[in-house]
Copies of this chain bind each other. A is one copy, B any other.
Amino acid sequence: MSNFANFREIGRKIVCVGRNYKDHALELGNPIPKKPMIFLKSTNSYVAEGNPIVIPPGCQNLHQEVELGVVIGKQAKNIKKDDWKDYVAGYTVALDMTARDFQDEAKKAGAPWFLSKSFDTSCPVANFIDKSKISDPHDLELYCLINGQEKQREKTNSMIFDIPTLISYVTQFATLEPGDLLLTGTPAGVCRVQSGDTIEFGLTGIIDSKFFVQ
């Protein structure tokens, strides 16, 4: 059994896919992507349970996006879809916190997404789950509640691009390394969170996590 409990310390990047659930793409008025839309979060984004999510300065519209995370276990370059499992150490669940107002401004200007996606505490993340504990990562249920009210609930089989496709696509361009995290996109139900809010999220029956917005 591999041990990547410390993936937040050893990993050097968080590779994310945008608009990977149809209903989420549509709720923000975006087209359904024809190929994976990849972006980065840097590791300063990580925040562990017990620490607050901090709204970045100037942000007026912070959104939560609950996502299944794939923890990479082995250096991966030009990986064939069929071989994807060899490169996965395990899973986790995370929030891809997004300063939606910053992102809207960037999208309009054709500018990069750094400010909207990589601010400190923009990646609240749960613990590592060894892959031996999850027989099929495409048969999980993501959920997210804000102040006890359900906002997101969706099966991971609704992804537009599945995990083998994402690993194969990304590694054509960029090497994935042990401890790197791949965030696989969020289903519909993102919304504004505010100071004082509690966000509970997880994978039904597998892992639960709770964070506060400072």
B-binding residues in A (CB < 8 A):
12-13, 15, 18, 37-40, 42-45, 56-57, 77, 106-108, 110-115, 117-120, 172-177
Minimum distance in angstroms from A204 CB to a CB of chain B: 30
Identify 13 new A-B residue pairs, CB closer than 8 A, beyond the known A39-B114, A106-B110: A12-B43, A18-B111, A18-B112, A37-B112, A38-B114, A39-B113, A40-B40, A40-B112, A44-B175, A44-B177, A108-B110, A112-B112, A120-B174
What are 18 of the A-B contact pairs (CB < 8 Å)? Answer: A12-B12, A12-B13, A12-B44, A13-B13, A13-B43, A15-B42, A37-B112, A38-B114, A40-B114, A40-B118, A42-B174, A44-B174, A44-B177, A56-B173, A107-B110, A108-B110, A119-B173, A119-B174
Copies assembled: 2
**Nearest CB on B from A73, distance (A):** 16
Contact A118 B174 (CB under 8 A): yes
Ranked nearest first, the 7 interchain pairs of A and B with the lowest CB-CB distance are A107-B110, A39-B112, A13-B42, A119-B173, A44-B175, A38-B114, A112-B113
Q: How far is the CB of A161 from chain B (nearest CB, A)?
A: 14
Contact call B111/A173, Cβ cutoff below 8 A? no
User: What's the Cα separation between A106 and B109 when bound, in Å?
Assistant: 11
| B residues in contact with A40, CB < 8 Å | 40, 42, 112, 114, 118
Residues of B within 8 A of A44 (CB): 12-13, 174-177
Cα A56 to Cα B18 with chains together (Å): 21
Whether A38 lies near B119 (C-beta < 8 A) is no
In the complex, how many angstroms separate the beta carbon of A182 from the nearest chain B beta carbon?
A: 12
Which residue of chain B has the shortest Cβ distance to A41 in the bound complex? B40
Cα A117 to Cα B40 with chains together (Å) = 11
